[in-house]
Amino acid sequence: MPKPFTPKVVTANALIEGDVIYLAADDSWVRDLAKAEVITDEAIAQMRLLDAQARASETVGVYLADVKLGTNGAEPTHFREDFRRTGPSNYFHGKQAEADA
């Protein structure tokens, strides 16, 4: 029996900056997971993934990531996605520095 479909977001890295980005419902790329479109239908998720993969001039490494709905929007369900959204781990800069300010 197949595993039930769980909510997903389309994620990638911005081609020029390298930042982690998420696809929003309006087809824009956002850097905040809470603003990403949460997809609950498997067929729609596959269509959104294909559409995002076609935007190779903007992104690299497009894939579907599991999420859950939290009080402020999408939240990661896997350590990898939680780690990706906080930025590089070698020292505090970018998103990490902004969170401390």
Give a yes or no: residue 3 inside a domain.
no
Please state the pTM of the whole predicted model: 0.82
Give a yes or no: residue 44 inside a domain.
yes
Residue 16's H or E segment, with its range, is: none
Cα–Cα distance for residue pair 71/22, rounded to 1 Å:
18
pLDDT digits (tens, 9 = 90+) for 22-34: 999 999 999 999 9
For 18, other C-beta atoms within 10 Å of its C-beta total 11
- pLDDT < 70 stretches in the chain: 87-101
How many structural domains compose the chain? 1
Give a yes or no: residue 30 inside a domain.
yes
Residue 12's H or E segment, with its range, is: strand 8-14
Range of the domain at 64: 8-100
